[in-house]
Structure 1
Amino acid sequence: MGSDPRPSSPRIASTGLPRRTLDTRARIMLPFCALLLLGLAVHRLVIADPEWPGHVEITGRTMGTTYSVKIATAELSPTSRTELAQAIEDKLDRVNSLMSTYLDESELSRFNRHASQEPFAVSAEMIAVFQIARAVSEISQGAFDITVRPLVSAWGFGATDRPPEPPSEAELRELSRRVGFAKVSVLPDLQSLAKRDSLVECDLSAIAKGYGVDQIAQAVEALGYANYLVEVGGELRAHGQKSDGRTWRIGIERPDAVARMSHQVVVLANISIATSGDYRDYYEVDGQRISHTIDPRSQRPIQHALASVSVLHEQAAWADALATALNVMGSEEGFRFANEHDIAALFLVREPTGQFRALTTPAFERHREATSGQQAAEQLRAEPDAGSGLFRSLLDSGGASAPRPISRRDHG
């Protein structure tokens, strides 16, 4: 089932290849089994795009989706290009080897099979991610919960075939005994994790993309590059400026299953953004929509009008997890929660008319005001530098757009 997880030889594209050809190749929709953390081989392309003078871009596929890294720098030597591309690939391979639910021997898969309450030794990276996940779970009172994996599978959004019927009340009650962030202890002093219930299984899909973005940013900065834009599956982190001195801009996509356009452009100045949405991945039973976003607290798919929510944070892993928590909560509960915790968030809510109503928290407004001068100076530019949301924009002169692979596990 799924693609061969063994790495293949990387390819470095010549600078003369057309941009659209590269984007099309990088955005091939993966099959259903190629979910977020599949351990797929990373295929990279290194290009010096004529439409982006003074920039080098590295693109490819990883974690069941695509990635793009833009570096604002003069033309790099072949050795420097290879070094940069290899550093990025090494980070992505590392995240997969630790957090994939597809690779049988990933650290997470081995922990899930650990049918004991004895401490299980893990890497420092896993401790860091579990600590963030635990913190978001605690402040959200379980709206974000990495132990939700059994429920996701029961509702038909796991790696196996969809069950013929939705789970019964009895099945949900039984599964709920295996779900709950308090059932996993993080033991930093021992660099270990411990289950309070040996049947608990974890899924890091709702935080791993963001963590991957942070890891790439770390690798890029370690090589001395201070001006970059990193994107993995729609989660982004920007630092510094483009080669022309302007700040990076991203488009928060309008959460529409048909129209593909930016709802709002946001300036990213040394910050990350992640978007969690719920409108494209679902199925229907007797006319009732079954969403892929599962609320761990009720054990059921969400039922509300929130279409998407975008969160700004210094770290993409935090933005990723918080966006998921707010999406689970819905616009009313989520907006209150974001205000109480000073989270910079933009909510796009479906109206009965089919339009979308935007709600922004004070923290988000403060960010917008702080960057308003930069945004006004660039208001004549029609296209953002990248997209955050359930679609990603093609950054060509024609302003076309194409879908990006969507994780079926954008859950708590």
Structure 2
Amino acid sequence: MGTTYEVKVGAWPPGVDRTELAQTIAAEVAAVDATMSNYRPDSELSRFNAAGAGTLLRLSEPLFHVLEASQRVARESGGAFDVTISPLVDAYGFGPGTATDDPAERARLRDLVDYQQLELVAPDGVRKAAAGVACTLSAVAKGYAVDRVAERLEARGVANYMVEIGGEVRVAGRRADGSRWRLGIERPAADALAAPRVQRTLEIDAGALATSGDYRNYREVDGRRVSHTLDPRTGAPITHTLASVSLVHRHAMYADAYATALNVLGPDAGMEMAERLGLAALFLVRRGDRFEEKMSSAFTALVEAR
């Protein structure tokens, strides 16, 4: 998946073959990559992206499930989260495709971005409304992989664990010393090479944490920082004062997707969505050379409960 993963177990149940389980986990992560990577021309997602319009395509259960969840978040966010952003991600130089600075070409690609151009037909079908519509699952696939690994662990009776893939984390139970899992929320850095610093630490028994921000992945264009996060509604990089959003959810897939949606919306509209849906979100907003914390009601309750 172009990233690393780590699994920690707080307490092993009897009879678990650790070597076999490690191999199962590695195979699970590889399977998600083979299904959902748009950097691999042989992946199921790449084949779907290359398909034409109008034909009902049959998808694997994992890909259909992730697209279904993505469409839900797209509707809830008014299109701020939209997996059909893929052509513009390439155009701005953040994907595997060809980048372009041509305004006319970017405008043409912008017309392909609309989650409503995907029609999902249960239990496994999807139809594109227009040729050229393509999806990227970069804002949801790692979270989905975390959930799949967690399910594998729980199926073997492992109740105390931490799973981390590319910064998306899910925990359950306790650490080996009996304490809660401690999850760090990174303070946004001045540049991508700066050493990570912790803004806040959460101690939780169960749940997932994901962070979306523009401080690690960006391009410099004419001396100006261009965020890798694009607003699907405008087709342009986000420009507001929000540095990052961290979100706690039961499932890593949804934590991943919702954090991205709130990051696109910005501190005000993002907070409105978080309150409307009861999402536990921490917004770090730029105020000159410092960051202001803004917590949703659910996140405040989470902090105060500890």
TM over 0.5: yes
Question: 1:23-59 CA deviation, whole Å, 9 max, x = no partner?
Answer: xxxxxxxxxxxxxxxxxxxxxxxxxxxxxxxxxxxxx
C-alpha separation in 1, matches of 2:53 and 2:131: 5
Task: Give 3-state SS (helix, strand or coil) of 1:225's partner.
Answer: coil
What's the offset of the Cα at 1:162? 4.2
Aligned partner of 2:117 in structure 1 is: 183
C-alpha separation in 2, matches of 1:331 and 1:228: 32
Aligned partner of 1:209 in structure 2 is: 142
C-alpha separation in 2, matches of 1:181 and 1:205: 15
Contact 2:84 2:134 (C-alpha < 8 Å) held by counterparts: yes
2:107 maps to 1:173:
yes
Q: 1:368 aligns with which of 295, 303, 306?
A: 303
2:290 maps to 1:355:
yes
After superposition, the Cα gap between the structure-2 partners of 1:161 and 1:120, relative to the gap in structure 1 and judged at 3 Å, is closer
For the pair shown, the structure with the greater C-alpha radius of gyration is: 1
What's the offset of the Cα at 1:224? 1.1
- Counterparts of 1:1-400 in structure 2 under 5 Å? 63-73=1-11, 80-160=17-97, 162-163=99-100, 166-168=101-103, 170-189=104-123, 191-256=124-189, 257=191, 258-352=194-288, 354-370=289-305, 372=306
Residue ranges of structure 1 left out of the alignment (5+ in a row): 1-62, 373-412
Question: What is the CA RMSD across the aligned residues, in angstroms?
Answer: 1.6
What's the offset of the Cα at 1:308? 0.8
1:177 partner letter = D
After superposition, the Cα gap between the structure-2 partners of 1:303 and 1:167, relative to the gap in structure 1 and judged at 3 Å, is farther
Contact 1:155 1:167 (C-alpha < 8 Å) held by counterparts: no
What's the offset of the Cα at 1:66? 0.8
Contact 1:144 1:321 (C-alpha < 8 Å) held by counterparts: yes
C-alpha separation in 2, matches of 1:75 and 1:127: 33
Contact 2:207 2:248 (C-alpha < 8 Å) held by counterparts: yes
Q: Where in structure 1 do 4 or more consecutive aligned residues deviate above 6 Å?
A: none
Aligned partner of 1:56 in structure 2 is: none
Number of aligned positions between the proteins: 303
2:3 partner letter = T
Contact 1:348 1:359 (C-alpha < 8 Å) held by counterparts: yes
Question: 1:286-338 CA deviation, whole Å, 9 max, x = no partner?
Answer: 33322111111110011011111001110000000000011111112211221
Task: Give 3-state SS (helix, strand or coil) of 2:17's partner.
Answer: helix
- Structure richer in helix, relative to its length: 2
C-alpha separation in 1, matches of 2:252 and 2:112: 28
2:243 partner letter = A
Identity of aligned residues (%): 44
TM-score between both structures, scaled by the size of structure 2? 0.95
C-alpha separation in 2, matches of 1:76 and 1:340: 44
1:309 partner letter = V
Task: Give 3-state SS (helix, strand or coil) of 2:40's partner.
Answer: coil
C-alpha separation in 2, matches of 1:305 and 1:259: 22
C-alpha separation in 1, matches of 2:175 and 2:106: 50
Task: Give 3-state SS (helix, strand or coil) of 1:214's partner.
Answer: helix
Residue ranges of structure 2 left out of the alignment (5+ in a row): none
What's the offset of the Cα at 1:161? 5.7
C-alpha separation in 1, matches of 2:249 and 2:199: 20
What's the offset of the Cα at 1:76? 8.2
1:131 partner letter = E
